[in-house]
Amino acid sequence: MAPWKKLVEEGVEGAKALAKGGKVAAKVNQFALPRTARKAAKVVDDLAQEESYDPYSVRSTAAEPAPAEPPPAPAAEPAPSSIIRPTSEDLARIARPPQEKTGIFNYDYKMPYRESGVERYNPPKGVPDRTTELLSRPDVFDKMVSGVERGLDVKDWYEMGPAYKSFIDEFGPEEGNRRFDAFMDAIAATSPRSDVGTNVRNASYYYGQAQPRPGQNSIPGINDLPAKPPFPYGHLAQNLHRSNVEKVLYPSGEGFDPFKNPKPLSFAWNFKGDPNLVTVDTHAFRAPAMYGEDPRFLETSFLNEKGATPRNIMQEHAEGTAKMEDLTKWGPGWQSKPKQNEYAAWENYYKRIAQELGIKPAEAQAAGWVGNGPMTGLESAPKSAMDFIEERILKTARERGMDPADVWREAIRGTRPLTKLEDKITGDLPGAQATA
């Protein structure tokens, strides 16, 4: 028997044994089988010149039919990467730094699952070739899996159970649900072009503006929102933020459109309890393209400062003035979001990665945000969203000389938003990107 076939059969038997072991065994051994599969794939690659094979047969238990005719010549191997990157076995996971806690949240409480009901757009003319070709490359997939493995310590980035419970405890189930959803929608609405601290701070302002005033039962209208937010809640993308806020926080809003606004819609629902949607943000989109060194995903209108002439990085590369070996080390030179007819394909790609590692799709995206971040240009610390909320509450409490519990109570009641203090709160969210 050929060596690769023997290893495949061993992998299949291992999968059967894993299934019999139940949930506990699956949890303990969730990484063992994927690595075996990749090892098997390597053996298959080495023997590709000698035997006809289907690399995806490592996931099938069906018997291989005898060939009716001589096997065809193997497909040409992709060009070797110009950058040698270590495998996951050579890289330690990115450590999550300790975070000071306010003591007001119950971290034993986990966010309950909530079905979003979101349906993705199915393009009638199919997905562009650049996406289908890039996302079908085994070499890119393996690098992506390794990157996600590096960030697994932060895979719970979207876990909002402690915050959700605080809303329920304060307002009761019905009103608590409504207000929690509104706060998460506000974070999604103000995420474009925002760093972590600014996003949380500005979300608390817009959320508060859309809550009933003391002594009133009705939610204010969009016309009650100031045309320009007061200091320090302004932002270079404040017009976009206001437009997003109107969609999701006010009675006249139509909500995020699954076709036009798939990213912020997914971002909000990842917080609200649906981990099966994937927030394809800047870093999630860039990472496969950068690993694959695919020039079709290079930026065509890069603008680093107001008033400057936009650069066409894709054209510069085609002309030879921008070298790929440099571009793979420079995240801003790559496009930041998929086209409308590509989003579902990218979401499915992260679902494949999640299945490979035995985690949830949203967890795969969050872990990849951290694990691939050094390449894509991520500047945030490898902490969860709750970590950043804790940090913002503590900074506000110290500035005002208040108890952190009172700071948070005022914020979720909508009576007083969180404050500024940008020092040491930098970097963007896993869902932040240039546009919504």
Query: DSSP letter string over 367-403?
Result: HHHHHSHHHHT--S-S--HHHHHHHHHHHHHHHHT--
The closest alpha carbon to 278, from 192, 191, 367, 210, belongs to: 367
Q: Each residue of 122-167: pLDDT tens digit? A: 999 999 999 999 999 999 999 999 999 999 999 999 999 999 999 9
Q: What percent of the chain has pLDDT over 70?
A: 75
Q: Is the pLDDT of residue 47 over 80?
A: no
**Banded pLDDT at 15 (limits 50, 70, 90):** very low
DSSP H/E element including 26: helix 22-28
β-bridge mates for residue 360, sequence order: none
**Banded pLDDT at 28 (limits 50, 70, 90):** very low
Q: Is the pLDDT of residue 236 over 70?
A: yes
Which of 18-27, 104-113, 131-140, 325-334 is predicted least confidently? 18-27
* Dist CA 316 CA 333 (whole Å): 11
**Banded pLDDT at 80 (limits 50, 70, 90):** very low
Kindly report the pTM of this predicted structure.
0.76
Burial class, 30, CB count within 10 angstroms (exposed 0-12 / middle 13-18 / buried 19+): middle
**Banded pLDDT at 10 (limits 50, 70, 90):** low
* Dist CA 34 CA 355 (whole Å): 9
Q: What is the pLDDT of residue 420?
A: 61
Q: Is the pLDDT of residue 432 over 90?
A: no
Q: Each residue of 308-318: pLDDT tens digit? A: 899 999 999 99
Which of 67-76, 217-226, 279-288, 343-352 is predicted least confidently? 67-76
Q: Where is pLDDT greater, at 250 or 378? A: 250
3-state secondary structure of 311: strand
Mean pLDDT of 220-241: 89
**Banded pLDDT at 303 (limits 50, 70, 90):** confident
Burial class, 80, CB count within 10 angstroms (exposed 0-12 / middle 13-18 / buried 19+): exposed
Residue 133 phi/psi, 5-degree rounding, is: -75, -45
Q: What is the pLDDT of residue 77?
A: 43
β-bridge mates for residue 338, sequence order: none
3-state secondary structure of 215: coil
